[in-house]
Structure 1
Amino acid sequence: MNFKINWDALGITASIACAIHCALLPLFLSSLPLFGINIIHNFWFEAGMVLLAFIIGAYSLYHGYKGHHHKILPVVLFVLGMAALCAKLFFAHHENWLLIPAVGFIVSAHFLNYRLCRGHNHAHADDCDH
């Protein structure tokens, strides 16, 4: 049985899950502190979500860049998105202004990486490793 993970789809899903967490979770789970549970604006939980997005995205984009399309634009978009996500951790009062472009950049990076990987028709450069 041959099972392959689509890392771009997983990255897009993780980015959207992060956006839903940051935007909607406070609306639905505002009663959690009454029970002693605080994941809303919890620095370590937020940092874990950013780390998860980074690990998935870095692997996906590295695979696409190195093994397929050799285009830097998806990597640049991803770095911009991750920079905005990291800034959001430390500047919580600007959370919405940083979150929206961060998710936009990261989703765009994964989508572009996905499209470039599917459309390159295996036109390999000299530095391909497969």
Structure 2
Amino acid sequence: MKFPINSQLFDKVGMSASAACAIHCALLPIVLTLLPIVGLEFLANPMIELSMIVLSLALACIALSSAYQKHRRVLPFVILMLGFCFIALGHLIEGLESYLIPLGGLLIAIAHFINLKLTKSCSHHIQP
């Protein structure tokens, strides 16, 4: 039995995860010195960041690929790939890391938002 994938749910979760990633990356340099005092030093762990990236990528692949069957638009994929490119560049270019990585997370959240809007706008044309 094949279960239908609810791409709207994955888009909402993906937007939340991407936005959390962007906020995490934007605020981490500012509050890095306070983390040990508050007991949140685990947030500075590179594995947390990698986990957020992998989670965002997995959610995005599921949401965008299943929604593409409905709306047939590539714009969410383009914005998503641009977001992951910014994240990759942020890890490669030391001085721009605090700008590029949050921007990448924001672009991923925007890709989910656009995908969600496109899916909702064409859902009345789809027969179950």
- The two structures have a TM-score, normalised by structure 2, of 0.76
Superposed CA RMSD in Å reads 2.6
Matched, 1:59 2:72: no
**Structure 2 unmatched runs, 5+:** 1-5
Change (3 A) 1:101 1:25: closer
Structure showing greater relative contact order (alpha-carbon pairs closer than 8 Å, 6 or more residues apart)? 2
Sequence identity (%): 32
**Structure 1 unmatched runs, 5+:** 125-129
Aligned-pair distance for 1:85? 1.3
Name the one with the larger helix percent. 2
Matched, 1:16 2:16: no
Q: Report if the CA contact (8 A) 2:15-2:113 is conserved.
A: yes
Q: Deviations over 1:26-81 (max 9, x none)?
A: 4445244588x5542x4333222111111111111111112x10100011100110
Counterpart of 2:79 in structure 1 is 77
Counterpart of 1:94 in structure 2 is 96
Q: 2:35 & 2:103 partners in 1: Cα distance?
A: 28
Q: Report if the CA contact (8 A) 1:61-1:113 is conserved.
A: yes
- The two structures have a TM-score, normalised by structure 1, of 0.75
Runs of 4+ in 1 over 3 A off after TM superposition: 25-29, 31-35, 121-124
Give the count of matched residue pairs.
120
Q: 1:103 & 1:47 partners in 2: Cα distance?
A: 13
Of 43, 46, 49, 1:46 maps to 49
Q: Report if the CA contact (8 A) 1:69-1:117 is conserved.
A: yes
